[in-house]
Amino acid sequence: MSDALLSRFVRDRKANIAVIAALVMIPIIFLLGMTLDFTQALRKKQQLDAAADAAAIAAVRPAMLMQTDAVAQNTAYAIFMSTANRLASGLTSVPTPTITITDVGLQRTVKVSYNAASLNNFPQLLMNNVSWAISGASTAQASSAPNMNFYLLMDDSPSMGIGATATDISNLIASTAPKYQKASSSQNCGFACHETNIAHDGGTKDNLAIARANNITLRIDLVTSAVNQLLNTWSNCPQSGVSGGVMQCMSALNNTTYRAALYTFDLGLNTLASLTTPTTAGAQVSNIALMPVAYQNCVVPTTNCKTDNGTDIAGALTSLNGIMPSPGLGSNASGDTPQEVVFLVTDGVEDKISSSCPNGSYASYSRCQQPLDTAICTTIKKRGIKIAILYTEYLQLKTPNVPVTDTWYMSWIDAYDEPTSSTGAIAKNLQACASPGFFSNVQTGGNITQALTDLFLKVASSTASLTQ
């Protein structure tokens, strides 16, 4: 080609768009093919990641925690492969997951990982790369429900004889008016004090008998009903064929062994049922009864009574601490023992003879009324024993809460019950006594039965979760 012809060709601008377009199409096609293949690989990875998640979770479900590692591994494998096999047409081969199961005590950790390769539709455009490498992993963790021993500790002191609702309190006050009673100490009283020798004070009727005769429900009646549902009868168990209460139902659902002991406390610890099956302990629920006193200012039938103190919460916990063994993990491993749990139901006010009452004492009898001293709670929890507490809130016995302000309450209790029964020192000390997350409170008139059931379910339940 002559120089003139070449020069003319270079100067000629005709059809330059077509040339440029042809040149640009090469990288566009390359990028388009790469985008399509990458998107397909990403979609395959998302599907396989979901399969790994499902496989890991399946191996730590409550029912699977009861099985051996081999069974859990086979289950996880089957779950993953059900998805992987459906994706086979878009992969170079069906990926086989790597499943690792680690058990530490009651806790199981399952990791499901995979490596795969997504087929490319445009391998020539990707420098003959026939596939995109993809990989992923999922880890799930859960703790199986442990075997547990439950020590149910119910307050049966005179203060649990308060009317269950504001209406019950009003009715009891009206029923103990002077025209029904000669003893001024028991008149206009919202408490069904069980005085076995009411005539000593010139009275004619026991307040507990008055409450029963007038069908007035007391707080201790609600406590008894709550324990009955826990040990004897529960109509809401999701598993059919289970007889008994909440405890037997959860034992069946969690495949665990639960045992129960039943105690009341007032001046000291009263044993209704030592550690046994929930059903055997449940047979003693009807024996939960309000503590009797001989007469006003006499908690024991002697001729030298000076005070009607009747609530030693710390003393009862101390006695119970001497009964409970050191807890185990609660697994079924050889040599392991159940976890130990205290279930305390109380209004939280101690009323006992003590020489170290923080705000003085009543008369010369060293009677101390105060919120629970939590030192014994710390001692128990340091042993690894859990404490669950249902606080039946101490009603503020003053107007406008009750028809007649209780002068005794105002002198000795009100300072611990302010600004409200949910936030005062009584509530705070009980919450400090309980293990983290195991404190619940219910107000006068509230559903104690449901509150106790909910608290038990919280202690007995376990959950599974993805950690990665």
For 283-305, how does the pLDDT look when each residue is reduced to its tens digit (9 = 90+)? 999 999 998 888 777 776 555 67
Q: Where on the phi/psi map is residue 255: left (φ > 0), alpha (ψ -120 to 50), or beta?
A: left
Scored b (16 or more CB within 10 A) or e, 185-195 reads bbbbbbbbbbb
Count of Cβ atoms closer than 10 Å to residue 46 Cβ: 12
pLDDT range class, residue 203, cuts 50, 70, 90: confident
* Strand 292-293 relative to strand 194-195, pairing: parallel
pLDDT score for 29: 54
pLDDT range class, residue 397, cuts 50, 70, 90: low
pLDDT at 327 over 80: yes
Mean pLDDT score, 125-132: 62
**120-129, 219-228, 409-418: lowest mean pLDDT where?**
120-129
pLDDT score for 192: 81
pLDDT score for 55: 92
pLDDT score for 13: 58
Mean pLDDT score, 303-309: 69
pLDDT at 317 over 90: yes
Give the helix/strand (H/E) hosting 155.
strand 148-155
Spatial distance between the Cα atoms of 228 and 219, rounded to a whole number of angstroms: 14
Instruction: List, for residues 156-193, the tens digit of each pLDDT value.
Output: 998 888 888 888 888 888 888 765 555 555 667 777 88
CA angle 201, 204, 206 (to 5 degrees): 85
pLDDT at 116 over 80: yes
Q: Tell me whether residue 262 is exposed, middle or buried, using C-beta atoms within 10 angstroms of its C-beta: 0 to 12, 13 to 18, 19 or more.
A: buried
Q: What mean pLDDT is reported for the chain? A: 83
pLDDT score for 24: 54
pLDDT score for 384: 95
pLDDT at 438 over 80: yes
pLDDT score for 325: 97
pLDDT score for 351: 85
Count of Cβ atoms closer than 10 Å to residue 303 Cβ: 6
DSSP, residue by residue, 164-187: SSHHHHHHHHHHTSTTT-S-GGGT
Domains observed in the chain: 2-143 (no CATH), 148-162+218-467 (3.40.50.410)
* Helix, strand, coil distribution of the chain in percent, nearest 5: 40, 20, 40
pLDDT score for 88: 80
Mean pLDDT score, 103-107: 80
**217-226, 353-362, 446-455: lowest mean pLDDT where?**
353-362
Is 325 or 254 the better-scoring residue by pLDDT? 325
Instruction: List, for residues 340-381, the tens digit of each pLDDT value.
Output: 999 999 988 888 877 777 665 554 567 788 899 999 999 999
Mean pLDDT score, 24-45: 68
Highest average pLDDT, of 46-60, 172-186, 195-209, 357-371, comes from 46-60
